[in-house]
Amino acid sequence: MKFTKIFRRLIVAASLSVALMFGGEAEAVDYYSAIYQTVNRYNGNEVECDWITRAILYASSEYQVDPILITAIMEAESNFDFHATSPVGAIGLMQLMPSTAAGLGVNPHNPLENIIGGTIYIKNQLGRFQNWGEYSVTDAVAAYNAGPGAVEKYGGVPNYSETVNYVIIVARNYKNLLTLIQS
């Protein structure tokens, strides 16, 4: 019982932060600077930081997904490491599983295709959960981590500590990026 209350409070807090994603945007938004500054905290190579930033903005524009959301997810997934791999086999900047990448028709080892694949995947999740109410973006972010089947099975963010923490981290990353944009 106690865990359930704490879990729900964490999800509500994370959801409120993530809900800001589609709230009002700043007037003269400089996405490039905010994204570049965030990437640069992890990767001091100016050429790579510029490339990652431009690739995020390209994928965002091409697939109509919030560039701040893409960046927040990428930060949580790989800390902008081109060569990131996970113990379960996820690959690259957006940490795509080989089967997910194959289903999306992208090569997860190619950095641009990896970003495009991750962008398409989160766009699919946003579409899948768009009618789930005020926490639909949170549910889509949870589905990026745990899979849409788990989110559907639990009727929202699954009660997996990894996924709960993931949603909170993405929300925090998003909030930090918004702060950079609005300052």
Residues classed as catalytic: 77
Give the integer Cα–Cα distance in Å for 128 and 123.
9
pLDDT of residue 12 exceeding 60:
no
Residue ranges per structural domain of the chain: 2-182
pLDDT of residue 169 exceeding 50:
yes
Give the integer Cα–Cα distance in Å for 57 and 53.
6
The answer to whether the CB of 174 falls within 8 A of the CB of 19 is no
Out of 2.40.110.10, 3.40.80.10, 1.10.530.10, 1.10.760.10, select the CATH number for domain 2-182: 1.10.530.10
Determine the pLDDT at residue 182. 87
The answer to whether the CB of 47 falls within 8 A of the CB of 54 is no
Give the integer Cα–Cα distance in Å for 1 and 143.
25
| Sign of CA pseudo-dihedral 23, 57, 88, 102 | positive
Give the global pTM: 0.86
